[in-house]
Amino acid sequence: MNRYTLLLVPDQEEGGYTVTVPALPGCITEGDSLEEAMANAKDAIRLYLEDLIANGEPAPLEGEPPRLEAVEVAV
């Protein structure tokens, strides 16, 4: 079992979430609810890893999880 960090971004206009997996470039999905987005992310990660393995590439492991920080900027 590998563990991957998900970045879930709420869609302010349409609802739901867009999900990316920072350790797996290009692995992106979405869902209408948090639960659906996370379930879709698990499927997307599984398919992403299966594709890598089928092509003889190793499954990347996530090192230290990414940090999410906020800064204030004057405009």
One digit per residue, the tens of pLDDT, for the chain of length 75 reads 889 999 999 999 999 999 999 999 999 999 999 999 999 999 999 999 999 999 999 999 998 888 889 999 999
pLDDT of residue 56: 97
SS3 39: helix
Instruction: Give the domain ranges of the chain.
Output: 7-54
Please name the amino acid found at residue 34.
L
Q: Cα–chain-centroid distance for residue 25?
A: 9
pLDDT of residue 74: 96
- Confirm whether pTM is higher than 0.95: no
SS3 30: strand
